[in-house]
Chain A
Amino acid sequence: GESVGLHLPTLSVQEGDNSIINCAYSNSASDYFIWYKQESGKGPQFIIDIRSNMDKRQGQRVTVLLNKTVKHLSLQIAATQPGDSAVYFCAENWGLGGATNKLIFGTGTLLAVQP
């Protein structure tokens, strides 16, 4: 049958190349951002986070860049591997007065790693 829903942007890369996944967030008051990885049939898996008082944060093979001026977030994956193939979501924290941890997720980008 016909599928209904958003068509995910897709990034196709060769194994070993670097990947850059971009995200535009919506709320200028958001001060905490997270990248999640979602493999088929699984829940979102935390990758890396960044607070708004930073513009760059590095993890193992991943780097997140934050540009608050244009409300843009990016995830860089170094030496992309087949196991990195998944849908990647950015999320911003809309918690009100610190009382909650309500995350607003972006649309998601499908990363397809070609061997």
Chain B
Amino acid sequence: EPEVTQTPSHQVTQMGQEVILRCVPISNHLYFYWYRQILGQKVEFLVSFYNNEISEKSEIFDDQFSVERPDGSNFTLKIRSTKLEDSAMYFCASSARTGGRGEKLFFGSGTQLSVL
């Protein structure tokens, strides 16, 4: 069964450093997402992406965050200057069709980001 893959599985970084989290969505999917989950808390929406542009973003997704689809297979999340509170599990997800209501999201296994 096709799946969303994320690398690395764990990332440790120093506060103030830039990190790039990588994702390979399911190949025929058109909509891409990043969510995050702080330890013990809910999964939170960060951003959705379609046709090479952001379609929606949350309040969490400030100027320190950016997303990119550099080629036909990868989807990345960059945090320019990490803060302690960015420590979380980051999940990439993708969906097949319109991305509107009623479209199933498939999630990757996540990247655990630890900011020291």
Flag if A49 contacts B104 (CB, 8 Å).
Answer: yes
- A59 close to chain B: CB less than 8 A: no
Residue of A44, A91, A96 most packed against chain B (CB within 10 A): A44
- Residues in A whose Cβ lies below 8 Å from that of B19: none
Chain B, 101-112, contact with A by CB distance < 8 Å: what is the 0/1 string? 111111111100
- A88 close to chain B: CB less than 8 A: no
Q: Interface on chain B toward A: helix, strand, loop, or mixed SS?
A: loop
Partner of A41, one of B41, B44, B102, B109: B109
- Residues in A whose Cβ lies below 8 Å from that of B44: 105
Flag if A101 contacts B48 (CB, 8 Å).
Answer: yes
Flag if A108 contacts B42 (CB, 8 Å).
Answer: yes
- B72 close to chain A: CB less than 8 A: no
Partner of B41, one of A6, A44, A49, A51: A6
- Residues in A whose Cβ lies below 8 Å from that of B98: 98
Flag if A5 contacts B39 (CB, 8 Å).
Answer: yes
Q: Which residue of B lies closest to A99 (CB)?
A: B55
The count of A-to-B residue pairs whose CB atoms sit within 8 angstroms is 88
Range class of the A interface residue count: 20 to 34
Q: How far is the CB of B41 from chain A (nearest CB, A)?
A: 5
Within 8 A of B (CB), among A1-46: 3-8, 31-32, 34, 36, 41-46
- Residues in B whose Cβ lies below 8 Å from that of A31: 101-102
Q: Which residue of B lies closest to A104 (CB)?
A: B45
Q: How far is the CA of A3 from the CA of B39 in the complex (A)?
A: 9
Chain B, 85-116, contact with A by CB distance < 8 Å: what is the 0/1 string? 00000010101001111111111111000000
Flag if A43 contacts B55 (CB, 8 Å).
Answer: no
Residue of B4, B43, B101, B107 most packed against chain A (CB within 10 A): B101
Flag if A100 contacts B55 (CB, 8 Å).
Answer: yes
Partner of B48, one of A34, A49, A51, A100: A100
10 pairs, CB–CB < 8 Å, chain A vs chain B: A6-B42, A31-B101, A41-B110, A42-B109, A43-B110, A44-B43, A95-B100, A99-B56, A99-B100, A100-B50
* A positions within 8 Å CB-CB of B: 3-8, 31-32, 34, 36, 41-46, 49, 51, 89, 91, 93, 95-96, 98-108
